[in-house]
Amino acid sequence: MLLSYLPVLMMIGFVTFLGVAVLFVSSLLRPQNPYGSKLSPWECGMEPVGDADIGHFRVHFFIIAILFIIFDVETLFLFPWAVILADKSISTLAFIEMFIFIGILAVGLIYAWGKGALDWL
């Protein structure tokens, strides 16, 4: 039984070896000439202004990102359902379950909208 995993383990070992070898060779061949301008931090192509230790970030942007990921995953679940629906080979139960799924997500969106999570200011 374990011998059936041998090709997979060999592939993982080969890919790991290849990754380490590429990193090692690139560390040997890269130019070694650091200087002040090269080592300075850049921010959108410009030199940064002020101190980097501001210590606070707006959580609002992380909430927007999480909501985006949630609704992006929703589309991953909806796509196969839509393909099956186009073939008209879907049962009534699956049709109802998908509308329950969409309804739960709609309730979550309405809740986030009501709490102000989608307001930009």
pTM score of the predicted model: 0.46
Does a structural domain hold residue 69? yes
Least-confidence region, from 51-65, 67-81, 97-111: 51-65
Does a structural domain hold residue 112? yes
Does a structural domain hold residue 14? no
Structural domains in the chain (count): 1
pLDDT for 54-64, tens place per residue? 666 677 778 88
Residue type, 75: T
Does a structural domain hold residue 20? no
Phi (first) and psi of residue 46, to 5 degrees: -130, 160
User: Which range marks the domain in which residue 104 is found?
Assistant: 55-121
Does a structural domain hold residue 59? yes
**CB distance 67 to 112 below 8 Å:** yes
